[in-house]
Structure 1
Amino acid sequence: MIRPGKKTWLAIALSAVAGFEGLRTTAYNDPVGIPTICFGYTHGVQIGDTATPEQCEQLLTDEVVQYAHDVSNLAAVPLSHEEKAAYTSFAYNVGTGAFERSTLLRKLNAGDRRGACNELPRWVYAKGIKLPGLVKRRAAERDLCLSGLGNEHASN
């Protein structure tokens, strides 16, 4: 379980994404065959690519900041640090387009913040295959998201 403590949304999101994705400095095929490197980075990756841990950390930070920006732009309601971190981790994994088209975002923007958090466990399939790693990740993202409800310090 992710324990946010007093961390900012960025620290929580970086920790969550890095923990879920794991660091691999040599490109590999993910569970559904997508070439991947570093902390789940897929853009333009080819099998045989390599990266240093420092390059991977920079990619992770850049990507998390971009996905958080996208989440903030799409959310019509203020988010707690925990909600923003959970949705950023989710968007990092499924992409901004999927987040934008999701029932989760519709519920969030309608003011059903709890209902939005509870949508996360539905996203456990990749190419029609239920992945145990996604089940675990979504449960942790949901718990993180719900832990931020009622927090008065919004991060948008």
Structure 2
Amino acid sequence: MTPRQRLATKIGAGALALAVPLIAHFEGTVFRTYRDPIGILTSCTGHTGPELMMGQTWTQEQCDQQLYGDLMKHAPALDCVQRPMTNGQRAAFLSFAFNVGNGNFCKSTLVRKANAGDMPGACAELSRWTLAGGKELPGLVRRRAAERAMCEGKTP
């Protein structure tokens, strides 16, 4: 089973079909190691990790492997939501967890609201997460708006 197939089994093919283009759009894909807007070494489609060094280059296949590996690491965060979710909600929450980390996702007010049955309130929480390095980033504002629209079942 490919990493994509394993991920589709874990989160659902419909959610995966929504999540991958959303994440790829906002992360972008860069075939070399670079520093993100707050200085974190990053490669490909938002991949970070201790193995990265400046000067590395990557192929499309390697970037795809990194992306699906990273998504598999973040898919368990969705288990923190104990209520049924639509594909759009699963995709938006996976994108959010990919960006902020599983711990931040699971401890968030978003998850508390979702588990209390307030899914509209949970979706609205996405709009609050627009800071990185203590500064509001326009890219995060746009990303959160798209995640929220997807979460709410609207076209981003």
Under a length normalisation based on structure 1, what TM-score does the superposition of the two structures give? 0.86
- Residue of 137, 144, 147 corresponding to 1:131: 137
CA distance, structure 2, for counterparts of residue 46 and residue 96 of structure 1: 24
CA distance, structure 2, for counterparts of residue 20 and residue 92 of structure 1: 11
- Residue of 49, 52, 57 corresponding to 1:50: 57
Match of 1:103 in 2: 109
Query: Does the CA contact (< 8 Å) of 1:18 and 1:39 recur in 2?
Result: yes
Match of 1:145 in 2: 151
CA distance, structure 2, for counterparts of residue 74 and residue 137 of structure 1: 22
CA distance, structure 2, for counterparts of residue 130 and residue 70 of structure 1: 24
Following superposition, the deviation at residue 47 of structure 1 comes to: 1.4
Q: Kindly indicate whether residue 47 of structure 2 is the aligned counterpart of residue 76 of structure 1.
A: no
Query: Gapped runs of 5+ residues in structure 1?
Result: 1-6, 149-156
CA distance, structure 2, for counterparts of residue 8 and residue 62 of structure 1: 18
Query: Gapped runs of 5+ residues in structure 2?
Result: 1-12
Return structure 1 stretches of 4+ with deviation > 4 angstroms: none
Identity score, percent: 47
* Greater relative CO (CA pairs within 8 A, separation 6+): 1
In proportion to residue count, which structure has more helix? Answer: 2
Segment of structure 1 superposing worse, 52-61 or 81-90: 52-61
Match of 2:120 in 1: 114
The letter for the 2-side match of 1:116 is A
CA distance, structure 1, for counterparts of residue 108 and residue 53 of structure 2: 29
CA distance, structure 1, for counterparts of residue 135 and residue 90 of structure 2: 27
CA distance, structure 2, for counterparts of residue 78 and residue 49 of structure 1: 41
Match of 2:99 in 1: 93
- Residue of 15, 23, 33 corresponding to 2:29: 23
